[in-house]
């Protein structure tokens, strides 16, 4: 029940800041840090209004979660501070999420949160507190390499969060530590039980913490009321098949909810056209993508042209690709690829980098 924080100095002389969200993962990280002999400071970012969020199940960094983090810190005998980042989170994550939907894109707010509030602002706070590192409960491995620290997938593939952390910079990775990367979730909960932490059986937070019950449309509509404007559902030839109640109800690859019966075969959302407010649908074959052009590329590895794979969704199976520095080329057509998603590139278990998908090229327009 120990963790190697790899600080290059005696832990008794070190100061570790732990990002405490109030869940079991970050609580166990705080416990492992406290047991190492280092001075430990727990930091929690309040991202929601305390009163509105206190009863929200599956949330993160809000009312009950802040209480749980403080309780765990008291139990471990470590300092704990709460910083109000509600406005920063709203502007950098929630409003960006809504704007991406209005542009007809498929946003990944968890990456934006890690990229901004958590790994930029929180890391700066840790440095200001004189920390030797910032430790988090993410399931990803930080491995010492010949050229410096590398990011690798977690040992437990079911818990791996490397997809959401592709935008971590080299400087950030140098300062970050991920003590849970080699553990399965069951082992983490067992540690929490052994230490009698009150959050040992606490359910995991949902992927998008600010979307209650998975109702994305209601969140977008609240932030951007104009997003609910109706429009037409058309086929690839432009023939009108039906009407819809707003682009915010659709994402590329979606089949359910179109409500256009009488078709000879299933139809899927192929693309969204925000300027005309049209939802374009077609057969599944129309979703096949051969190339995805990227923007905002972050690179953590060396230049490598062979043995690469890429994921366009967190739970997707890595697909063999070629990367030319600005676009990912799939060996076989990939389905459900949409602007706004991230494409994360791997060499084996190592995260080489990735970027945001700006444009996709259908397989039929770019043969292998």
- List all residues 6 or more positions away from 67 whose beta carbon is below 8 Å from its beta carbon: 22
In this structure, are residues 163 and 314 in contact, taking their beta carbons and an 8 Å threshold?
yes
Contact 322, 291 (CB under 8 A): no
- Whole-angstrom CA distances from 236 to 46, 247, 272, 277, 358 are 45, 17, 12, 15, 21
| 209 among known catalytic residues | yes
Cα separations (Å) of 358 from 68, 280, 327, 334, 342? 40, 18, 10, 16, 9
Q: Do 116 and 316 form a contact (C-beta atoms < 8 A)?
A: no
Could you say which of 60, 61, 110, 209 is catalytic? 209
CA distance 172 to 169: 5
Q: Is 113 a catalytic residue?
A: yes
The single residue of 60, 61, 110, 113 carrying the catalytic annotation is 113
**Could you give the residue numbers annotated as active site?**
113, 209
């Amino acid at each position: 029940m120990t963790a190697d924080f790899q600080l290059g100095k005696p832990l008794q002389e070190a100061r570790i800041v732990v990002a405490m969200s109030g869940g079991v993962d970050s609580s166990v990280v705080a416990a492992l840090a406290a047991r190492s002999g280092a001075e430990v400071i727990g930091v929690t970012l309040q991202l929601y209004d305390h009163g509105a969020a206190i009863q929200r199940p599956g949330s993160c960094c809000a009312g009950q979660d802040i209480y749980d983090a403080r309780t765990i810190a008291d139990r471990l005998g470590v300092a704990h501070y709460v910083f109000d980042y509600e406005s920063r989170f709203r502007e950098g994550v929630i409003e960006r999420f809504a704007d991406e939907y209005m542009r007809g894109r498929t946003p990944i707010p968890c990456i934006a949160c890690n990229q901004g509030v958590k790994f930029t602002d929180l890391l700066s706070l840790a440095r200001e507190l004189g920390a030797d590192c910032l430790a988090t409960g993410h399931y990803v491995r930080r491995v010492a390499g010949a050229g410096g620290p590398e990011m690798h997938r977690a040992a437990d593939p079911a818990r791996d969060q490397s997809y959401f952390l592709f935008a971590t910079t080299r400087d950030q990775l140098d300062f970050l530590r991920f003590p849970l990367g080699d553990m399965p979730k069951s082992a983490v909960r067992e540690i929490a039980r052994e230490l009698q932490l009150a959050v040992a059986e606490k359910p995991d937070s949902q992927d998008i913490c600010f979307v209650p019950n998975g109702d994305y449309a209601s969140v977008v509509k609240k932030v951007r009321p104009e997003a609910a404007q109706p429009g037409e559902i058309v086929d690839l030839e432009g023939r009108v098949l039906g009407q819809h109640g707003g682009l915010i109800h659709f994402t590329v690859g979606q089949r359910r909810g179109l409500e256009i019966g009488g078709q000879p075969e299933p139809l899927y959302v192929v693309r969204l056209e925000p300027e005309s407010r049209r939802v374009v649908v077609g057969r599944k074959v129309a979703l096949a993508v051969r190339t995805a052009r990227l923007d905002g590329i972050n690179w953590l590895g060396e230049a490598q042209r062979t043995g690469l794979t890429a994921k366009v969704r967190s739970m997707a199976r890595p697909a063999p690709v070629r990367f030319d520095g600005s676009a990912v080329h799939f060996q076989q057509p990939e389905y459900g690829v949409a602007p706004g998603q991230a494409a994360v590139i791997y060499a084996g278990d190592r995260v080489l980098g990735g970027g945001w998908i700006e444009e996709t090229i259908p397989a039929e327009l770019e043969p292998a």
